[in-house]
Amino acid sequence: MQAFERAMRGEQFIAGAWTASDERIDVVDPGLGRAFAAVASASADQCIEAVAAADAAAQAWAATAPRQRAECLRKAFELIMEQADDFARLITLESGKALADSMAEVRYGAEFFRWFSEEACRAYGSHSIAPSGGYRILTSLQPVGVSLLVTPWNFPLAMGTRKIGAALAAGCTVVLKPAKETPLTSLVLAAVLEQAGVPAGVVNVVVTASSSVAVPRMMTDGRVRKLSFTGSTSVGKHLLALASERVLRTSMELGGNAPFIVCADADLDVAVEAAMLAKLRNGGQACTAANRFIVHASVEAEFSARFAQAMESVGVGYGLNPGVGVGALITASEREGMLGLIADADGRGADVACGGKSIDGPGFFLQPTLLRNVTPECRCFVEEIFGPVAPVTTFDTVDEAVALANAVDVGLVSYVMSQNQRLALSIAERLESGMVGVNRGVVSDPAAPFGGWKESGLGREGGHEGLLEYLETKYVAVSW
Ligand code: NAP
Ligand code: MG
């Protein structure tokens, strides 16, 4: 509980010390629609102090034994799991999501530390004879250096651990800048890492009300060598352009717009279960959320009827209440956005098969909504939805389904439902996305490479690939 009490004071964590600042940011409980805490807002100068602290700690941390870094991460994994209930409660308070979703996030988020504690000792180089025979080619992997980690509000714990775990395992020091909507979980995480034995300055956390000023300042400071960003495609593009000023290494995990293809031979029990997870996990506020349901015409009526029934049976309400499966949306304006998407589809001839309305607050609640007969021109088919709204359209041939699935600028994840693995895998191969779920609605796993194609981003997080994002290759030509 110590870590929570410390962090709830809402101060910056810089160079191993908790630092106050004059300006405060309210933290809103989306389930109640009002502030329940406040945190200090770091000035751009304080953010630069955090960069300086990470820089000062960089050499010593890079020189620690990989096993030592591994054991810090392993310890942090255990500390998070020991306090899983408290973490889950805090995540629900600041993000509005249902407690079951928060608990799933705690397990997933902590697992990145266990995974990267195992990967910390696996940064291999190579040794070979030059083709000419005249010398030796020696390669090794070295930490890229001070890394700036910028994370979104929808997974306050897991988006942090996924980056910090890899960076620390690789021997990098970091500045984490979480989203201002959900800063408290990151501050507790800082306290946990300190308790796990991570030296001062290796992990710094700054919360700021002016990220559009502070983040560019840090990125162009010269001491920062890497940006790992998770968030919207629009902000990501802007930061990618800025990263060119210092030629920063970048990992960009951006928006999605996942197609969910249901083939004629799909097991509809499996498909509906997967659809519920892919659509309603986190209330639909996930980059991996199924966005476009593309269903074979012969099974669409049956699939939609069962999907609507399942959606209607989910409890919507305050995330901490028992029996709640879908919590609040993050802000009132996000909910307005959802209602706008529903109205747009409705106006273009779609049918509202279930839901469609907001639920009286004070929190930002919306009924899980199924839209049938949605055409590809509808905004909900083009834009990332980020809420519990499921648009359905039909296809007749597999070629049509694949063309429709690929007809967007992003490509994070796709889902394919078919009992014929040959068909499912051949479709998976043709989909322009970094990840595909076959007969399942969740793909995220710390042991697997997570990331997107096209405008969904660059690089991978998790898996062995996640470690490599924080390592530079050194080649030494050796004559003897
Ligand atoms: P966002 O608005 O892009 O914000 C992400 C982060 O960037 C936050 O820390 C935010 O800080 C910061 N930021 C915003 N504007 C900035 C600017 N002009 N300069 C520098 N930093 C800036 O995204 P979000 O609304 O938090 O999250 C939703 C988006 O994240 C969705 O598009 C979703 O698909 C994506 N996402 C992707 C993945 C993935 O792995 N691919 C995972 C989760 C979410 P402040 O808000 O505090 O200003
Ligand atoms: Mg935002």
3-state secondary structure 445-471: CCCCCECCEECCEECCECHHHHHHCCE
Helix H or strand E encompassing 196: none
Q: In the structure, how many helices (H) and strands (E) does the chain have? A: 16, 24
- Ligand 1 site, residue 374, Cβ cutoff 6 A: no
Residue 444 contacts by C-beta under 8 Å, 6 or more apart in sequence? Answer: 108, 288, 450, 462
* 333 CA distance to ligand 2 middle (Å): 11
- Position 381 pLDDT exceeds 80: yes
* pLDDT per position as a tens digit, 190-228: 999 999 999 999 999 999 999 999 999 999 999 999 999
Q: Please give the C-alpha separations between residue 130 and each of 125, 127, 474, in angstroms, as whole numbers.
A: 15, 10, 16
Ligand 1 pocket residue status of 180, Cβ below 6 Å: yes
pLDDT of 6 higher than 90: no
41, 150, 455: residue to mutate for ligand 1 pocket, most atoms within 8 A of CB: 150
Q: Please state, in angstroms and rounded to a whole number, the distance separating the CA atoms of residues 253 and 261.
A: 23
Which residue CA neighbors atom 8 of ligand 1 most closely? 179
Res 341 pLDDT > 90: yes
Confidence of residue 361 (pLDDT cuts 50, 70, 90): confident
- 382 C-alpha to center of ligand 2: Å? 19
Q: How far is the CA of 207 from the centre of ligand 2 (A)?
A: 14
Task: Verify whether ligand 1 is closer than 6 Å to residue 434 (CB atom).
Answer: no
Q: Quote the CA–CA distance of 388 and 395 in Å, as a whole number.
A: 23
Q: What percent of the chain has pLDDT over 70?
A: 100
Tell me the CA distances in angstroms from 160 to 57, 175, 179, 427, one per residue in order. Answer: 19, 11, 11, 33
Ligand 1 contacts CB of residue 232 (under 6 A) = yes
Residue 211: nearest ligand to its CA?
1
Residue length of the chain: 480
Task: Sort strands 290-296 and 226-230 into parallel, antiparallel or unpaired.
Answer: unpaired
Among all residues, which ones are annotated catalytic? 253, 287
Reply yes or no on whether the pLDDT at 1 is more than 70: no
* Gap between the Cα atoms of 97 and 381, Å rounded: 24
Task: Yes or no: say if 170 and 123 are a contact pair by the CB < 8 Å rule.
Answer: yes
Give yes or no for residue 340 having a pLDDT over 90: yes
| Kind plus residue range of the DSSP H or E element containing 322 | none
What is the rounded average pLDDT of the residues 378-386? 97
pLDDT tens digit string along 60-83? 999 999 999 999 999 999 999 999
Q: Is the Cβ atom of 153 under 6 angstroms away from ligand 1?
A: yes
**What burial class does residue 44 get, using C-beta atoms within 10 Å of its C-beta: 0-12 exposed, 13-18 middle, 19+ buried?**
middle
Ligand 2 centroid–CA 41 distance in Å is 16
Burial of 64 per CB tally in 10 Å (0-12, 13-18, 19+): middle
Residue 161: helix, strand or coil by DSSP?
A: helix
Radius of gyration of the chain from its Cα atoms, rounded to whole angstroms: 23
The CB of 154 under 6 Å from ligand 1? The reply is yes
- Please give the pLDDT value at position 117: 98
> Could you give the CA distance from residue 419 to residue 40 in angstroms, rounded to a whole number?
53
Nearest-CA residue for ligand 1 atom 43 is 287
State whether residue 413 is helix, strand or coil: strand
Ligand 1: atom nearest CA of 155 is 43
